[in-house]
Amino acid sequence: MDCETPSPQQNAAGKRGKPSKACVPCRARKVKCDAAVTGLPCSSCVSRLTIRVAAVEKVSGVSRLDEHVHGQSRPDLHYFNILHDAINDSPSSPQQANSNTPGSRPEDDLIPRIRFWNKPPELDEVDNEFLTKKGVFDLPARCYMDMLVKTYFDQAYCSPIIERAEFLKSYKSGNCSLFLLYAIFATSAQFAPEEAISGCGFANRWAAQEGFFLKANLLHDFHYESDTLRMLQGSMTLGVIILDHPTDRDFQYWFHNSIRLAVKHDVHNTCAREDKSFKQLKLYRRIWWVLYCCDVFHSFVNTQNLQLLENVPLLRPLNEDDWEIDDVSEDNDLWSPVSYQQKTSLIAHCELAQIFGKCLSTVKNDCKQDVRQLMRPLDTWRTSLAEKMGITDPFHDGEIYYPETLAVSYRFEAIMCRLLRRCWRSRNVSGSEWAKQRLRSAIFELDTIAKRVLANGTIRKFPITFVTTMPALLALHIETALDPSETDLVRSMAKLSINQTMLVIDQVKDVPAISRALPAFEMVLSKKNLYSTPTSHFGSVRSPSNQGQQSESSALLHAHNDIDSSHIELGEHLSPHGDFLGFDFLDRWEIDQLDFTGIY
């Protein structure tokens, strides 16, 4: 499949002449410039900025002045913004100044030109030969690719960050982004039919997901994809993948890369301008809100992670109109129309992220505001969720979006209340007890959802966010069962719930993220005698990498089977700030941390 790459003629366009001593605005206005003496901005530019600000003050008042100075003073120091001013203020092109549409910026015409001039270089013969030997250009048969693409849009497409009609048009013409295509294949591998997995030449889902993932990595490393938007979409798609072994290119790496590319692509500012004439405005708005949700989610995965978008102004909330209208006249055998529940599910996730983002910020900054008051919007949100999503039978066996959204909310609440309980244990007894009761209630609700999904046999239809909630629930039950401060009844109920949750996990044991977690769980359950089914029950589904991990873990367990558990203080040596999905703990896990406290 061919991908567009810049030609030598296009690269040659990037050559620029020698800069003069005068700055660009002064040169354009043909006035004296002292930039060589005073630096940038020169005295003339500073004077011009002062006059402009005074004019704004006359017309718009003081508030407009403050807004203008805040928005313009700092960026004007960058040469790129001086070029913007030169285009905007140049007297030689009045027709350009008058042709700007409301909501557009004069630099909008310059940005695509600069991106065109500064395209990355073409791959040389050595690079192409290397990628060819790695099989990057060896795509599966078309019928199997169609299965993977259809699976992505039907099951793995929980984040609508791609314009489906445009992508499928380029895909069918053989001209789509190869990097994005491999990212889609890697995400689809854990849901795709076995026929597609074997047809692509892989023995199992683990091998398929890793194979596609590594090819996308190679294309990324060689800068094969020159389109920033496609790089952003591909990075966000790879950000939901958790392999069955540690890697530097984990989901956090791709999330941070997505933030970087979104800033580079000016996604937030483009959305904030609300230029209705911009054809991709809806797509950009969905991309930004998905990034915002991921930002809050990653902070909950590990509260030591920085919340990158915490201080970025929120955009107008998403609504149903932020999706493109599906063209039913098109050949749509590879995708189905986006349902009302799919749209409202993302909208609900965005609302949920705002609620918990505010709570997390308050807890991190140790504000005096009562977190219990901040949690009240969560109760209101849950009460109205079914109605907002148009759900009449919340747990119908064909419904996945409502229980998934609800489960994520209880997972967030469990993390938050567990953190509050530990923070308030010594200084706020009543608050700690309140957090304990909310935590217990959240665990119970998660248990109920898991039971319904298990009874319906539909867990394989659920997105990865729900699947990875099950190990988090299991770790919560383990912690409760080992907590000496709990009553015998509560600990006994937790042990029963462990068996039930293991049954749920057994349904998705071939998902790489789950298979990676199982060895650690089984060691804890075996040592503490918390699970009635032999751990060998799962032995036949190990990935090759985890078979080695399991053998090593078993040897360690045998060597340490005389450890006195009384020497392992509950919660003293493990961080309470985290969530099981991070999987960073598996890379530094030690046998002395068998209680699993603090990690779920």
Q: What CA–CA distance (Å, rounded) separates 442 from 434?
A: 12
Same domain, 275 and 131: yes
Q: What CA–CA distance (Å, rounded) separates 222 from 233?
A: 17
Lowest mean pLDDT among 22-36, 144-158, 378-392, 399-413: 22-36
Angle between helices 401-424 and 376-388 (to 10 degrees): 170
Same domain, 15 and 31: yes
pLDDT-based confidence at 37, cuts 50/70/90?
A: low
Distances (CA, A) of 208 to 113, 179, 460: 39, 16, 17
Torsion of CA 477, 478, 482, 487, to 10 degrees: 10
Task: Please tell me which residue, 344 or 159, carries the higher pLDDT value.
Answer: 344
**Inside any domain, residue 411:** yes
Q: What CA–CA distance (Å, rounded) separates 462 from 472?
A: 16
| Mean pLDDT in residue range 412-416 | 91
Same domain, 57 and 149: no
Task: Specify the pLDDT at position 328.
Answer: 57
Phi and psi, residue 178, nearest 5°: -70, -35
The two tokens of residue 408 are: 């994520």
Q: Which residues contact 251 (CB under 8 A, 6 or more apart)?
A: 238, 239, 240, 241, 242
Same domain, 19 and 166: no
Task: Specify the pLDDT at position 476.
Answer: 93
Same domain, 29 and 129: no
**pLDDT for residue 5 is more than 70:** no
**Inside any domain, residue 377:** no
Task: Please tell me which residue, 340 or 62, carries the higher pLDDT value.
Answer: 340
**pLDDT for residue 111 is more than 70:** no
> Is the Cβ–Cβ distance between 577 and 553 less than 8 Å?
no
Summarised one tens digit per residue, pLDDT across range 141-174 is 999 999 999 999 888 766 799 998 899 989 998 8
**pLDDT for residue 572 is more than 50:** no
Same domain, 170 and 58: no
**pLDDT for residue 535 is more than 80:** no
- Domain extent, residue 151, equals 125-321
pLDDT-based confidence at 302, cuts 50/70/90?
A: confident
219 class by beta-carbon count within 10 Å (0-12 exposed, 13-18 middle, 19+ buried): buried
**Inside any domain, residue 477:** yes
Q: Which of 85, 117, 149 is the last residue of a domain?
A: 117
**Inside any domain, residue 528:** yes
**pLDDT for residue 460 is more than 50:** yes
Same domain, 264 and 210: yes
**Inside any domain, residue 138:** yes
Same domain, 54 and 144: no
Same domain, 278 and 297: yes
**Inside any domain, residue 99:** yes
pLDDT-based confidence at 545, cuts 50/70/90?
A: low
The two tokens of residue 459 are: 């867990």
**Which pTM does this prediction carry?**
0.73
pLDDT-based confidence at 335, cuts 50/70/90?
A: confident
For the chain, give the percent of residues with pLDDT over 90: 43
Q: What CA–CA distance (Å, rounded) separates 206 from 267?
A: 34
Peptide bond into 246 cis (omega under 30): no
In total, how many domains does the chain have?
3
**Inside any domain, residue 284:** yes
> Is the Cβ–Cβ distance between 309 and 252 less than 8 Å?
no
- Write a three-state SS string for 87-134: HHHCCCCHHHHHCCCCCCCHHHHHHHHHHHHCCCCCCCHHHHHHHHHC
Task: Specify the pLDDT at position 185.
Answer: 97
| Mean pLDDT in residue range 473-492 | 93
Give the residue among 318, 315, 299, 316 at the shortest CA–CA distance from 307: 299
Same domain, 558 and 578: yes
> Is the Cβ–Cβ distance between 240 and 250 less than 8 Å?
no
**pLDDT for residue 264 is more than 50:** yes
Task: Specify the pLDDT at position 475.
Answer: 92
Summarised one tens digit per residue, pLDDT across range 446-459 is 999 999 999 999 99
Q: Which of 321, 354, 383 is the last residue of a domain?
A: 321
Summarised one tens digit per residue, pLDDT across range 324-333 is 887 655 567 8
Same domain, 405 and 473: yes
If you ran DSSP here, which 8-state letter would residue 14 be given?
T
> Using DSSP, how many helices (H) and how many strands (E) does the chain show?
29, 0
Summarised one tens digit per residue, pLDDT across range 204-239 is 988 999 999 999 999 999 999 989 999 999 999 999
The two tokens of residue 219 are: 């294309």
**Inside any domain, residue 329:** no
| Mean pLDDT in residue range 366-385 | 86
Q: What CA–CA distance (Å, rounded) separates 276 from 253?
A: 33
Task: Specify the pLDDT at position 58.
Answer: 42
Q: What CA–CA distance (Å, rounded) separates 48 from 66?
A: 17
Same domain, 68 and 93: yes
pLDDT-based confidence at 431, cuts 50/70/90?
A: confident
pLDDT-based confidence at 81, cuts 50/70/90?
A: low
Task: Specify the pLDDT at position 97.
Answer: 43
Q: Which of 321, 345, 377 is the last residue of a domain?
A: 321
Task: Specify the pLDDT at position 477.
Answer: 94
Reduced to 3 states (helix: H, G, I; strand: E, B; else coil), residue 373 is helix
